Amino acid sequence: MNLPDFLAWLHVPADIKQQVFAPSPTGTLFSSAAFVAAVGIAALLFWPRVKLTKSNSFLKRLFRHLGRWDRNLIYYATYVFGTHYRSWWVRRILVIVVFSTIAVAGAFLRWPTCIIAISFGLFGVFIIFRQWSHIDDDKIFFIEHRRKIHIQGDLRFEVTAASLFILIFAPVAFAQMQVAEAAFQVDEKAGPFAFEFYTLLEILKIAPLVPYYDLYADVLNFRRIGTISDPTFQAKFAIVIFRASADFGLLPVPRTPS
């Protein structure tokens, strides 16, 4: 593939500066990256050292029964996503580089290739989460089948970083859908953080209070919040996938050590 053929797969805005300050894929990428970086830095500087708890989600129980296939997939896929390597600093650098590359690809590849890239990133989050879940749970299996991944330290940083990238992948995907299909009603005053804020609202809807939404509709009227509304059928499908990925346990739950 020559350079012109490769560039045909990319969508580079003519005026990138203008796009950075709009709810475009480019603007959403930069705003989401800034938000995630701020959250990550705040967690490192101000939050107490936390221990991640393993959720017992439906998806986790399903893959637990798949046994050897699940573990072999993790063993080889972690080479791609950067967490198979022994040195902790190599793993951390590779995780940031790999997922950042996927996020950039999701913002600049043309539709629908961009969604393939973002889906690959979400798959990577799942792989790292499953690897972390196996470290303590499957010592006997790994000894018997020679599939143990030898690493220094733990995967707390890698799991947290990969999970935070969901807050980049999801809004970029929504922004790409808006460009391709006008999948949302976007207020004319919307800025680059519009889809990031919309993503955070969707996370809020996963909270335990949401099943009682009808009782608090006058207070929790999400339609009045933000500048993104009225998703199309296709957009609703993407939102369901996003909520499910978080609800199934891709986002690890932190707790302070007792």
For the chain, give every domain's residue range: 19-255
- As a whole number, mean pLDDT of residues 91-117 equals 95
Contacts of 235 (CB under 8 A, 6+ apart): 174, 177, 181, 183, 184
Residue 139: which pLDDT band, with cuts at 50, 70 and 90?
very low
Q: Is the predicted pLDDT of residue 60 greater than 60, yes or no?
A: no
- As a whole number, mean pLDDT of residues 72-98 equals 94
Q: Is the predicted pLDDT of residue 110 greater than 70, yes or no?
A: yes
Query: How would DSSP label each residue in the chain?
Result: --HHHHHTTB---S-HHHHHTTTSHHHHHHHHHHHHHHHHHHHHHHSPP-EEEPP--HHHHHHHHHTHHHHHHHHHHHHHHT-SSS-HHHHHHHHHHHHHHHHHHHHHBPTTHHHHHHHHHHHHHHHHHHHHHHHHH-HHHHHHHT-----SS-SHHHHHHHHHTHHHHHHHHHHHHHHHH--SEE-TT--TTHHHHHHHHHHHTTSTTGGGGGGGTTT--GGGSSSEE---HHHHHHHHHHHHHIIIIISPEEE---
Residue 62: which pLDDT band, with cuts at 50, 70 and 90?
low
- As a whole number, mean pLDDT of residues 78-85 equals 94
The predicted pLDDT at position 193 comes to 94
pLDDT tens by residue, 208-233? 555 555 555 556 555 566 789 889 98
Please provide the average confidence, as pLDDT, over all residues in the chain: 79
Residue 130: which pLDDT band, with cuts at 50, 70 and 90?
confident
The predicted pLDDT at position 53 comes to 59
The reported pTM is: 0.82
